[in-house]
Structure 1
Amino acid sequence: MVFLLRRLAFYVAALFVAITLNFFIPRLMPGDPSARIIASFQGRLNEAQVEAIRKSYGLTGSLWEQYVTYLGSVARLDFGISTVQFPEPTASLLFYGATWTLVLVGIAIFFAFIIGSMMGIHAAWNRGRFFDSVFTPINVMLNAFTPAVVALLLFYAFSLQLKWFPLGRAHDPSLMPGFDLQFIGSVLYHATLPVLSIFLVSFGGWHLGMRNVMINLLNEDFVILARAKGLSDRRVRYRYVARNAILPQITSLALSVGFLLGGALVTEQVFNYPGLGKFTFTAIQSRDFSFIQGQLLLLTMSVLVANLLSDIANVILDPRLRKG
């Protein structure tokens, strides 16, 4: 419990630092988010209207007053107003984009972690044999590909040439969103290639990581003792070796959240998928600082929450941490 409280305090401090940097960095850059909106009216605004627009973006008062106002807005999950889709609140755009990104990244992470880890366990237990000799080099090769290359290859082959999958969107535009089989089927159909592109560049890493850790553990004393006691291979493999080898994998899973979300940015752009990546790309092009700030803060919070969950999982799986 002390371990978790110490880690929780660290993550709270890290989140506070991220919020502070997220406030000051855009203000050190030339210009401000309201300038684009004010310029679009071509001088037809009076002084009171200009001040109202600047106030809506939290740009009035001293820097300290702006900072305090910003902290209060973050606590209310109010990230301001988008300049690209003015006057749409940034929070609603983030929620919409995050929902679709979670569909992609969530499905891809789940299958990549499970399949990659199971393949790593089998390859390590049968190292040097057919399965290990064939699939380990293939996964090394796949792990070297970038999300952009895989996404473009899949899009070109299966969407442009074979026309097996749609060119974009998250679902059929003629369907109304809802929890019915037709809509869910359309969502899964449109997400197949984006999910597959993220899966292909990530599951090889779980395979290689699990295989390498397990190989290092196979000659440990507790494994030799388990075999000497006459325990079955299945029990030694999963209860003794894999259970210990999975701990670094869980930590790596939490650390990879930021990388996978970054990969989703490229993938969503290639497949015209309406997730955080596509919205962020548009926001960068249009200098929508409110959305960029909100997205960076959301990404930071996601990584911190993922790391906290990995700490909890490690405490559950590793009795040494509970005793400590």
Structure 2
Amino acid sequence: MKVLWKYIIPRIIQYLVVIFVGITITFFVPRFTPLDPVQMTLNRVMSYGAQYLDAETLEHLKETLADLYGLKGNIFEQYVRFWKRLLKGDFGPSLVIFPTPVMEVISTSLPWTVGLLIVSALLSWIIGNFIGGIAGYFNEKRWARVLSVIAASIYPIPYYFMAIILVIVFGYLIPVFPIFGGLSIGIQPSFSWHFVVDLLKHAFLPALSIIIVGIGWWFLSMKALSSSVKSEDFVVYAEITGIPESKILFSYVMKNSLLPQITNLALQIGGIFNGALVTEYVFSYPGMGQTLYMAVTNGDFNLMMGISTMAVVAIATATLLIDLLYPLIDPRIRYQ
């Protein structure tokens, strides 16, 4: 009971506050932009011949659109109605793909993003930490210094720039992999080998662009951590007592260095809506990146709010989970 009141409940309250503040910010930010989705939609409608409608019909259409976009009434009324709809899981219809509900649009594109980014994040985490841990332990070796220079050169490269490089190399110079889409035309999702191969071929380049840059970051951070742990007294004592070097490396140095890396991994997985989504746009991958770009360029407030809200909830949830589970991972921390 003491753990519940002093450790778990305060963190759940903090979690709810973070979500509330984050969603509130995402509500107000689009409304301070110069975008007017109602007028943009009216312009599109009028380009199809609606200019011949009478003023009363146009005014009724404008009011209907304002209600659909959640822009009816003053800002306070909009905010209250937004929370009422949000608590019901209703973001309204997507105005770009009208009348499809926002949640249906998100549920269609979210699995693509989750599959791509989570797999890429896990692979880059495993590879980067493994190589970085070894390089940190043998940091005086020449090969370790060479790897550090390579990683330091790769890490600052943005995901989307790496994606463009891969498109040029493997899409034009060596056309081995498809450079756009998630599946070939005519391929339907199924449990067939043909579908799996086609899916992996289309996901390979987007995933590779994320993995390469991710490995650079995980390598550098793990190398710094393992180099620091290597100089700790318990590691020095283990070396003096003649414990095998491989056991010292994996059981002492890398095991202790991985603790902060686990936290970073949880946050990265929670933040699947980060800048890596630009990679999806470069490859026309049918995930949240494409959907968000479509929403922003067309002023679809409902869809923007739906994606932003899910991003806030995902990151906050990942932070809460790792905060609650960390005492189980790190024996130095106790529930207090």
TM-score by length of 1: 0.90
One-letter amino acid matched to 1:36: M
Paired letter, 2:134: H
Tell me the distance in 2 between the aligned counterparts of 1:138 and 1:28. Answer: 43
Distance 1:205 1:301, change over 3 A: same
Q: State the distance in 2 between where 1:180 and 1:118 align.
A: 34
Alignment of 1:149 with 2:153, yes or no, is: no
1:158-197 superposed Cα distances (whole Å, 9 cap, x missing partner): 1122221113110122111123322122111100000000
Q: 1:91 to 1:141 in 2, by over 3 A?
A: same
Determine the C-alpha separation between the residues in 1 that align with 2:9 and 2:191: 39
Partner of residue 190, structure 1 = 202
Q: Distance in 2 between matches of 1:19 and 1:76?
A: 15
1:266 aligns with 2:278: yes
CA 1:29–1:204 in structure 2 vs 1: closer, same or farther (change >3 Å)? closer
Which residue does 2:322 correspond to in 1?
A: 310
With over 3 angstroms needed to count, the CA separation of the structure-2 counterparts of 1:23 and 1:13, relative to structure 1, is same
Query: Per-residue displacement from partner, 1:277-300 (whole Å, max 9, x unpaired)?
Result: 122122222222222222222222
Matched, 1:171 2:183: yes
Task: Tell me what 1:87 maps to.
Answer: 99
CA contact (8 A) 2:295 2:303 kept: yes
Q: CA deviation at 1:230?
A: 4.3
Matched residue type, 1:149? F
1:320 — aligned with what?
Answer: 332
Given candidates 254, 257, 266, the residue that maps to 1:245 is: 257
Equivalences for 1:192-211 in 2 at 5 Å?
192-211=204-223
Aligned residue number for residue 9 of structure 2: 5
Q: In structure 2, the residue corresponding to 1:263 is in which secondary structure? A: coil
1:112 and 2:118 equivalent?
A: no
Aligned pair in 2 of structure 1 residues 114, 244: CA closer, same or farther (>3 Å)?
A: same
CA distance in 1, matches of 2:216, 2:31: 41
**Structure 1: segments with no counterpart, 5+ residues:** none
Alignment of 1:109-148 (within 5 A): 109-148=121-160
Using the TM superposition, give the Cα deviation of residue 61 of structure 1 relative to its aligned residue in structure 2, in angstroms: 4.2
User: Is contact 2:37-2:298 (8 Å) kept?
Assistant: no
CA deviation after TM superposition for structure 1 residue 101, in Å? 1.1
Moved more, 117-126 or 274-283: 274-283
Asked if 1:25 is matched to 2:29, the reply is: yes
Amino acid at match of 1:12: L
Q: CA RMSD in A?
A: 2.3
Q: Which moved more, 1:39-48 or 1:266-275?
A: 39-48
Match of 1:233 among 230, 245, 250: 245
Residues 21-70 of structure 1: per-residue CA shift (max 9 Å, x gap): 22223334456433333441535335545433332333334543332221
Match of 1:67 among 72, 79, 83: 79
**Alignment gaps of 5+ in structure 2:** none
Following the alignment from structure 1 to structure 2, what is the Cα–Cα distance between the partners of residues 153 and 139? 17
Letter in 2 for 1:177: P
The partner residue of 2:298 within 267, 271, 286 is: 286
CA distance in 2 between partners of 1:30 and 1:127 (Å): 53
TM-score by length of 2: 0.87
**CA displacement 1:200-257 (0-9 Å, x = unmatched):** 1111111111110111111212223334454333333223222221122122224445
The correspondence for 2:38, drawn from 26, 34, 38, is: 34
Correspondent of 2:228 among 202, 216, 220: 216
* Distance in 2 separating the partners of 1:308 and 1:173: 41
Residues 66 and 72 of structure 2 are in contact (CA less than 8 Å); yes or no, is this contact kept in structure 1?
yes
Q: For each residue in 1:79-105, what CA deviation from the matched residue of structure 2 results, as whole angstroms up to 9, or x when unmatched?
A: 222222222212112222221111221
Compared with structure 1, are the counterparts of its residues 106 and 323 closer, same or farther at alpha carbon in structure 2 (3 Å cutoff)?
closer
Cα distance in 2 between the residues matched to 1:175 and 1:253: 33
Contact 1:36 1:83 in 2 (8 A): no
Letter in 1 for 2:16: V
- Whole-Å Cα distance in 1 between the matches of residues 34 and 325 of structure 2? 44
